[in-house]
Amino acid sequence: MIPNEEIEKINKELLTLNAIWAAMLLSLFIYVFVGLYTKDTLRITMETNLIDILRIVFYLMAFITLIGTRFIRKLVLSGKGINTDQPSYQSDKPLALARYSSASIVSLAMTESIGIYGLVLFLLGKSEVDLYLFTLISAATMLIYRPKKDGIVSLTQDLNRKSLIKSSSG
């Protein structure tokens, strides 16, 4: 059972995370608007071969980013490699909230970068398909990694359970 005080902190943090999520999702649509708006006014001349190579590189980077986001999110949520016993770790947030917030923001930033790859590729190669595809992939992944109360609550319960086991055995 989670105390009411902690539930209130969870709700506040969730509101903040949802605002960040909405702003980052909105930025994807701003990228599309900016790309389409500057399509005819911005002239970047590159050889077709170079654009084709960059297209492959950006698609590969997007794939790696998708895979990497999941692993990095899990790593941050697990807290591996983080020593919270050090005096330098000071926060008024419960540990679960701090981890979940960090994992959410890192995940959203990584998935938003996919939309940026699409914008850059569009500005270089003028292919609307690339812009829309990268934006769609980025938005879909942001929907998957959106902040969820269930995720924060289950992480809080897991950490509380682990701290009880640790305190009773130590």
Give the confidence band of 24 by pLDDT, cuts at 50, 70, 90. very high
Q: How far is CA 119 from the centre of its chain?
A: 18
How do residues 96-107 score in pLDDT, each as one tens digit? Answer: 888 999 999 999
pLDDT, position 26: 97
pLDDT, position 2: 73
Q: Is the pLDDT of residue 91 over 70?
A: no
pLDDT, position 92: 64
**101 vs 88: CA distance, rounded Å:** 19
Residues comprising the chain, all counted: 170
52 vs 79, higher pLDDT: 52
Whether 136 contacts 114, CB under 8 Å: no
SS (H, E, C) 64-126: HHHHHHHHHHHHHHHCCCCCCCCCCCCCCCCHHHHHHHHHHHHHHHHHHHHHHHHHHHHHHHC
pLDDT, position 83: 55
**Taking the complete model, does pTM exceed 0.85, yes or no?**
no
pLDDT, position 88: 44
Give the confidence band of 87 by pLDDT, cuts at 50, 70, 90. very low
Whether 24 contacts 108, CB under 8 Å: yes
Q: Which of 19-28, 46-55, 123-132 has the highest mean pLDDT?
A: 19-28
How do residues 152-167 score in pLDDT, each as one tens digit? Answer: 888 888 877 776 676 6
Whether 13 contacts 20, CB under 8 Å: no
Number of CB atoms found within 10 A of residue 62's CB: 22
Average pLDDT over residues 83-111: 76
Q: Count CA atoms within 13 Å of residue 54 on its CB side.
A: 18
Q: Is the pLDDT of residue 1 over 90?
A: no
How do residues 117-137 score in pLDDT, each as one tens digit? Answer: 999 999 988 889 999 999 999
pLDDT, position 109: 96
